[in-house]
């Protein structure tokens, strides 16, 4: 939750958006909050579908 608070007000979506889905690309995903917040903002701005894509992740799974 702390990482989400760090993003409050960090991004602004300025309409008009192009019609159709959006591809949201992040270089490195730590907690996924950036993708989560930006997806929510794009959806609120009228984007019908958002496809998040991370090029790398810092999480390690056993």
pLDDT (0 to 100) of residue 53: 95
- What is the Cα 55 distance to its own chain's centre? 13
The tokens describing 52, both together, are: 């998040």
According to the model, what pLDDT value does residue 32 have?
86
Domain residue extents for the chain: 2-57
The model's pTM is 0.78
C-alpha torsion angle, residues 37, 41, 46, 51 (rounded to 10): -30
Contacts of 52 (CB under 8 A, 6+ apart): 24, 26, 35, 39
2-59 confidence digits (pLDDT tens): 555 667 778 889 888 899 999 999 999 988 889 999 999 999 999 999 999 999 999 8
- Residue 40 neighbours by CB distance under 10 Å: 12
pLDDT at 1: 47
């Amino acid at each position: 939750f702390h990482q989400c608070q760090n993003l409050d007000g960090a991004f602004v979506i300025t309409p008009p958006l192009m019609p159709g889905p959006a591809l949201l690309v992040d270089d490195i995903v730590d907690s996924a909050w950036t993708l989560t917040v930006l997806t929510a903002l794009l959806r609120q701005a009228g984007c019908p579908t958002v496809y998040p894509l991370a090029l790398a992740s810092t999480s390690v799974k056993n």
